[in-house]
Amino acid sequence: MDTKWLDYRAWHIEKKVMMHVSEIDFRKHRVKGRAKEEIISSRFDEVVLMRGVTYYDDSLHCAKIYEGDIVEVTHKDMTKRFVIEDEKGALLARCIEKEQYPFVDFDLDMLLNDDGRVKVIGNVYENPELLEPKEGSEKNGH
């Protein structure tokens, strides 16, 4: 899979909606974007700005992964969930099942370029329940 370009989205803290960012004004400290059918202009302190990457999967479908996304990675007969986090400008995938990989974070590019499938299943703001390890995940290889 090939990473192509960067873009942003923002979680509006008060309105509890995800915005697709169209403008970032660093002089005025404002973000403008669309949430559903509403155009929203907000101060930086009213939103959580999340960087994302656009990539092409093995079947050449365009896909996006953002900071804060929860992804499910299937590799051979194993499926694991990861949360995407920004650490010093690099997007990392942190395994949710801590007992499996207690000290390991994966570079997002490494997961995207591996032979496994990466699927966005939600994000930490709209789907916090996905951060819980799956029941019986160690027993059935998930």
Concatenating the DSSP letter of every residue in 21-77 gives: EEEEETTTTEEEEEETTEEEEEEGGGEEEEEEEEEE-TT--EEEEETTEEEEEEETT
pLDDT of residue 78: 78
What is the mean predicted confidence (pLDDT) over 95-122? 72
Say whether pTM exceeds 0.85: no
Q: What is the mean pLDDT of residues 7-28?
A: 95
pLDDT digits (tens, 9 = 90+) for 34-67: 998 999 999 999 999 999 887 766 666 777 889 9
Could you give the percent of the chain with pLDDT greater than 70?
A: 77
* Higher-confidence position of 89 and 18: 18
